[in-house]
Amino acid sequence: MDNIFHLHNYSEEKKLAMASLQFEGYALIWWEQLLCDREEYGRHPIATCDEMKREMRLHFVPKHYRRDIFDKLQNLKQGSLSVEEYYKEMKKDMIRANVYEDEDQTIAHFMAMMHRNIQRIVEFQPYHHLRIWYIKQPKLNVNCSKMLRAASPCHLVRGISLEEANQSQNLLLNRPW
């Protein structure tokens, strides 16, 4: 709705009226009761959409919601997700939790919870920014459930033959460090 309000340059009063028109059932009853209670107890009326959102969050969003989002983000692992699915899930959780961290922290978290066999491949890819690396890596769309069943997991990296994947894996795994 914010996009519609911005597009039409509505006043705060009109935004509030338009938003409240969308309420149905319990939400409508709650909203009408909230307005009546505020008037009855001499509190100032809700005048902006931001005030409305704050009241709605207080009433409808459980207090543990943010903690649950943080827990989900902290415990997110790639598991059987493809790299693409894992990346999108992590970014979605970060947005929901309002997490704005240093790019290096995000990369470290992303890498730490990635499947180990894929981690070995990705660790040696050149990148400075996670988003740029992700966009430039269409070949690294690996489905781990398939990978775990495969004899040589690297061959599932699209665009690489089994022989090339085995050579790459041997190079990576046989380095002296």
Mean pLDDT within 54-69: 91
Q: For residue range 63-103, what is the model confidence (pLDDT) as tens digits?
A: 898 899 999 998 999 888 888 888 889 989 999 888 888 88
pTM: predicted TM-score of the whole model, two decimal places: 0.54
Provide the β-strand partners of residue 143.
Answer: 82
Q: What is the DSSP string of the chain?
A: -HHHHHHHT--HHHHHHHHHTT--HHHHHHHHHHHHHHHHTTPPPP-SHHHHHHHHHHHHS-TTHHHHHHHHHHH---TTSBHHHHHHHHHHHHHHTT----HHHHHHHHHHTS-HHHHHHHTTS--SSHHHHHHT-TT---BHHHHHHSSSGGGGSTT--HHHHHHHHHHHHTS--
| Residue with more model confidence, 55 or 105 | 55
Distance CA 92, CA 86 (A): 10
Q: For residue range 11-36, what is the model confidence (pLDDT) as tens digits?
A: 888 889 999 999 999 999 999 999 99
* Segments making up each domain of the chain, as ranges: 2-60, 65-173
What pLDDT does residue 84 have?
Answer: 82
